[in-house]
Amino acid sequence: MKGFAMRYLNIKFSPLSAALVLSAACLLGCSVLQAGEQAASAPGDPALAAAVTQAIHDALDYKAKDIQVAVNGGVVMLSGWANQPSDESRARAVASRVPGVMRAYSRVHLWSSDDSY
């Protein structure tokens, strides 16, 4: 006796489609585990953000005054403004070396000295 999907929707399953369904299920299951792991580390995010902020300010001094730090599940996002591209890249490098940081990304913009606006 055919199942509902096969009888009414005229769906046919092959070994390849079964493998694809199992692969998708595995990937979705892995994603749920990763989300759970990130949620478990979330209470430490404020302390990690403070440590990253301090490390960046120690390394860049006044050049880091306009760079903000946000942390979510050990992933650091830098934002704000920098005077030089090297300031942004150094801030990201310093952030990535702080213990507990899984990844560091940057959305830091550069101040422009171009007066043509």
Question: Measured between alpha carbons, how far is 61 from 49 in angstroms, rounded to an integer?
Answer: 17
Report pLDDT for 20: 47
* Least confident stretch, 15-19, 95-99, 107-111: 15-19
pTM, entire model: 0.61
Reply yes or no on whether the pLDDT at 6 is more than 60: no
Q: pLDDT per residue over 39-90, tens digit each? A: 444 568 999 999 999 999 999 999 999 999 999 999 999 999 999 999 999 9
Reply yes or no on whether the pLDDT at 18 is more than 80: no
Report pLDDT for 40: 44
